Amino acid sequence: MNWDPTATRVLLRSTSQRLGQIQERIDSQGQITRRDIATLLQQNNTALARAKAQNLIQDDAMGDLLEVLEMHVSEIIEHLGELDEGSVSRF
């Protein structure tokens, strides 16, 4: 079984792109939730605002995790390019 670095690189780029899309969606939803929390606090509905804030904290942590994961995938792509260049120069 042969390893195909080009196919791997394509898959990793696709993965990185998808991670970015998911992160953008989470960030967008977070902005809406922040406005909802502000409205709930103005209405003195602190219980629901607190619950939304807790969910927002978890979503923000997930967004941060996705960002780190996307950076690592990009770094792996760079290293694959370096490995590919190194194997070409040896032959």
Does the pLDDT of residue 4 top 90, yes or no? no
> What are the pLDDT digits (tens) for 7-21?
899 999 999 999 999
Question: What is the predicted pLDDT for the residue at 91?
Answer: 43
Does the pLDDT of residue 85 top 70, yes or no? yes
Cα gap 63→23, rounded to integer Å: 5
Cα gap 51→65, rounded to integer Å: 21
Cα gap 48→87, rounded to integer Å: 58
Question: What is the predicted pLDDT for the residue at 6?
Answer: 86
Question: What is the predicted pLDDT for the residue at 24?
Answer: 95
Q: Which residue ranges make up each domain of the chain?
A: 25-77
Does the pLDDT of residue 56 top 60, yes or no? yes
pTM, 2 dp: 0.78
The fraction of the chain above a pLDDT of 90, given in percent, is 76
